[in-house]
Amino acid sequence: MKIGILGGGQLARMLALAGYPLGLDFVVLEPAPDACAAPLAGHIQAAYDDPAALEQLAELVDRVTYEFESVPASAVEQLGESLPVYPPANALATARDRHHEKTLFNELGIETAPFAEVHDLAGLKQGVAQLGLPAILKTRTLGYDGKGQQLIHPGDELEAAWQAVGQVPCILEGLVNFDREVSIIAVRSVSGEMAFYPLAENVHRDGILRLSTCLHEDSHQPLAEDYARRMLEHLGYVGVLAIEFFQVGEHLLANEMAPRVHNSGHWTIEGAHTSQFENHLRAVLDLPLGSTQPLGHAAMVNLIGDLPDTKALLGLENVHLHLYGKAPRPDRKIGHVTVREASVDELQARLSNIDNVLQ
């Protein structure tokens, strides 16, 4: 069985690493010549919307998945004519546009921060009048890792913010004074089996995820699973779906969802019985899902920018290194480490050790 992946970055790379033991082979479609999944997969080097390349991919593989949500709709449509493409197109369409996404959250009874649609400067003024400030102006499409976002404080020039995001369709979102950021990794197979990983608590800095810690029996787990189940069932979803929440007291406000394996689920490689990557593939292939139970107390620290002192990291017991084969560059995710310890205290101590190495 051969799997095609749109995108050849670290998520495709980790899907391939999880998939070979299942007896799978992989082909990635990715325009970059030095794609980090390319050394361990077939590589069609072309644009994602190149019809000839998509045709070539469809001939080589048995089904297709993707590692990013801004996949061109035309690509999914063309591929879908000849083979299964998972997650389904409606999930992509929803996740690609923040307004559709938040509207659907609310329609399904999933709370979000208050938001308003913004088409122009007049709409932005109206949104501010409605939600108050501070608020965040976010482009409806193509934002990630804090890109395409502008925080507006009371007294700020609205026109400057509107220029800063590039005068494109946006939503304005009321700033939430949250207790924590958490995410759930959910998975649903072709035949409808579902599984949910324990919530992860996430720490971002400068809009980029730095740390995800697996939570054990968190009181918000049932609500997060309920919300994720509603979305999976509504979309007839297949594969891994990640939903990020702001936790405010007993409430979970959905911030965004990603119809793919997700950075806040990387801890599952060593920290759960079955990784999110393996379960994504099991789901897409309609195989039984693997256990999502945690193994010890786990956390994941992203390696961002420079290559760390890998010898020092590997000298720390219970630390697992995951480099992506990417050249260092400021703010670029070039790898992560997973820590798995027997107790929360040992986990916290080890995370301090890692911080010391990374400083």
Rounded-to-integer distance, Cα 144 and Cα 236, Å? 25
* Residue 326, marked binder: no
188 binds its own copies (CB under 8 A): no
* Identified binder of its own copies from the candidate list 98, 138, 282, 350, rule CB under 8 A: 282
310 binds its own copies (CB under 8 A): yes
32 binds its own copies (CB under 8 A): no
Tokens of 302: 């992203």
297 binds its own copies (CB under 8 A): no
Rounded-to-integer distance, Cα 259 and Cα 240, Å? 7
* Residue 144, marked binder: yes
For its own copies, how many residues bind (rule: CB under 8 A)? 34
Candidate segments 17-25, 77-85, 243-251, 257-265, binder of its own copies by CB under 8 A:
17-25
What is the smallest separation between the CB atom of 271 and its own copies, expressed in angstroms? 11
Tokens of 5: 């992946």
* Residue 280, marked binder: no
93 binds its own copies (CB under 8 A): no
* Residue 197, marked binder: no
342 binds its own copies (CB under 8 A): no
222 binds its own copies (CB under 8 A): no
Residue with tokens 């997700």: 262
325 binds its own copies (CB under 8 A): yes
* Identified binder of its own copies from the candidate list 89, 305, 323, 353, rule CB under 8 A: 323
Tokens of 30: 């990715």
317 binds its own copies (CB under 8 A): yes
* Residue 255, marked binder: yes
Name the region of 208 (left: φ>0; alpha: ψ -120 to 50; beta: rest): beta
23 binds its own copies (CB under 8 A): yes
* Identified binder of its own copies from the candidate list 87, 88, 271, 335, rule CB under 8 A: 335
Rounded-to-integer distance, Cα 122 and Cα 159, Å? 10
* Identified binder of its own copies from the candidate list 22, 47, 142, 168, rule CB under 8 A: 22
* Helical ranges in 248-306 per DSSP H: 268-271, 276-284
Count of Cβ atoms closer than 10 Å to residue 187 Cβ = 30
Contact assessment for residue 308 and residue 321, using Cβ atoms and an 8 Å cutoff: no
- Those residues with Cβ within 8 angstroms of residue 286's Cβ, 6 or more apart along the chain or in another chain: 189, 190, 191
271 binds its own copies (CB under 8 A): no
- Which lies closer to its own copies via its Cβ, residue 10 or residue 212? 10
For residue 124, give the H/E element and its range. Answer: helix 121-131
| Tally: H helices and E strands in the chain | 12, 17
Contact assessment for residue 271 and residue 296, using Cβ atoms and an 8 Å cutoff: yes
State how beta strands 63-66 and 2-6 pair.
parallel
250 binds its own copies (CB under 8 A): no
For residue 344, give the H/E element and its range. Answer: helix 344-358
What is the smallest separation between the CB atom of 21 and its own copies, expressed in angstroms? 4
What is the smallest separation between the CB atom of 187 and its own copies, expressed in angstroms? 14
291 binds its own copies (CB under 8 A): yes
Choose among 306, 242, 203: nearest CA to 68.
242
What is the smallest separation between the CB atom of 344 and its own copies, expressed in angstroms? 18
For residue 247, give the H/E element and its range. Answer: strand 239-248
Phi, psi of 267 (to 5 degrees): -60, -20
* Residue 149, marked binder: yes
Chain residues in the site for its own copies (CB under 8 A) = 13, 16-17, 20-23, 25-26, 39-42, 273, 282, 287-288, 290-291, 295, 310-311, 314-315, 317-318, 320-325, 335, 340
Known binding residues for ATP are 98, 138, 143-149, 173-176, 181, 204, 255-256
